[in-house]
Amino acid sequence: MSLRASLEKAFSPDTAMSHSLGTGLSAGQCAATAAIVFDRLGGSLVSTTIENESHWFNRIQVGDAVVDVDLTGDQFGRPAVQISMEGTLYSGTRIREVENLNNETIQRAIKLASRAGIQVSYMKQER
């Protein structure tokens, strides 16, 4: 089963950012999802602004290429899973540090991962 499919079954209002403006199954789930992907696959956390809302996703090395991976694009009417060459998925992206994830997001990510049956390591150790 794909990572998105596992997460999709676990998405719920208590794992979403409150007051999310997005629509679709993954609305408000982007930062928690990006934290889980970062924990499992490494790479970088990346964010941008879409429709006046912060949106987090991942940048991952795949062989010789660096790609941007968004598993929550459906909250903005895009495909649920998007993969594109580094810097081409969204404009105005910036690299974020793990420290930029607030405790509330980490707690949502831990809950989401647990419900999805995904093991996470760094989040439990650091927070």
Structure-block tokens of residue 22: 């997005």
Strand partners, 45: 58, 96
pLDDT for the residue numbered 123: 63
Average pLDDT, integer, range 2-13: 94
pLDDT for the residue numbered 73: 94
In 55-102, alpha helices (H): none
- Count the Cβ atoms, other than its own, within 10 Å of residue 85: 10
Structure-block tokens of residue 44: 């970088």
pTM passes above 0.85:
yes
Per-residue pLDDT of 98-119, as tens digits, reads: 999 999 999 999 999 999 999 9
Nearest to residue 123, comparing CAs of 57, 55, 31, 35?
35
